[in-house]
Amino acid sequence: MSALVRFRDAIRKYVPPWLSDRPSSGRTVGFRLIWAMVAPLDAAMEVLTQGLTARLPGLGTSTALSYIGRTRGILRGQNETDADYAARLRGWLDRWRIAGSMDAIALTLHEYLSTRPRVRVVNRAGFMVTVGTDGTITREQTSWDWDSVSHPDRAGFWSELWIIVYSPPWAKTGPFLNTAGAPTWGEDEYGIGHDVSREEHDAVKALLAQWKGAHTQVRAVVFTFDLDAFNPSNPSSMPDGRWGAWGNTGSGIRTFSPRDYSTSRFWEFD
C-alpha cells in the first residue's frame, strides 16, 4: 500500500509511552508485540485492494487480464503488451456495439496479428472495408468478381465475404510437400504454404466466427505479401471471375484458377 499509511506505521501515534518503540533504551518488546499483531492487517488490506482493482484493466494486476478478456470476449493479440491489451479491454463495449459488421472483422484481425497488418474485408456486392496499418478505417465501393466464371451458381450468394491480410506474420513456404521450403511434419503441425501453427489457425477461425454476422459466410481469407494486390484502383490486381476453387462451369469444362500462389496464401471455407 504505497499511497496509504500502513496500519503498522500508524500505531506509533496511538500506543501509550510505555509501549512505544524505544530502541535507544532497548525497551522494544511491547511495541514489537503490537506491531506483529497489526502487520497482518496490512497484508489483508493489500489483498482487498488488489482484489477490488483486479477487475479494472490497466489499474489492477496484469495477471487478471486473461480472465477479463475471457469474460469480455476479447482475445489477446500475438505478442501484445499488457498496456495495449488493457486498453483494448477498456473499449470492449464499443467493440461489441459493431459486432457482426465488416468493420469488426477487419479491426479484430488487425489487432490480433502481431504485424498489425492492413486488412480488407469485401462482400460479393463489392463493398470494401479497409483497416490501415495505423488502425484507420476506409470504405469504398469496388468491382469484385471472385467466381462468376468458375462457380456461376454462386452468383446469388449475397452474404459471402472475403478477407485480405497484407504482410501476415507467418513466413511463406513451398505450396506443396515435395517443394523446397515445405514445412516438416511433427508435433507443431504447421500448415502447407506458410508456417502457421494449428493454434494460430484455430485462433483466427474462432475470431472470424465470433465477430462476423450470423447471416454471413467467409468464403476465403487471403494472406498476401504483395501490397498492391486487390487494389480497387488497379483492375488487373482484382479477381477475374475464375478465382474460386477450380470446378465445373456447367458445360463439363474445368476452369483453373489463375491465383498467384507466389505471393499469396489462401484459406478456403465452405
**Residue 95's closest CA among 240, 85, 166, 223?**
85
pLDDT tens digits for the chain (270 residues)?
455 678 888 888 888 877 777 777 777 788 888 888 888 888 888 888 888 888 899 888 999 999 999 999 999 999 999 999 999 999 999 999 999 999 999 999 999 999 999 999 999 999 999 999 999 999 999 999 999 988 888 889 999 999 999 999 988 876 565 565 555 555 455 666 788 888 899 999 999 999 999 999 999 999 999 999 999 999 999 999 989 876 555 555 556 678 888 889 999 886
Look up residue 216 and give its three cell numbers.
454471413
Sequence-ordered list of residues with C-beta below 8 angstroms from that of 218, at least 6 positions apart, any chain = 160, 161, 162, 163, 208, 212, 269
Termini Cα distance of the chain: 56
pTM to 2 decimal places: 0.78
119 residue type, one letter = V
In the 8-state DSSP scheme, what is residue 229? T
Alpha helices in 75-151 (DSSP H): 82-90, 92-97, 102-112
Beta-bridge partners for 130: 120, 138
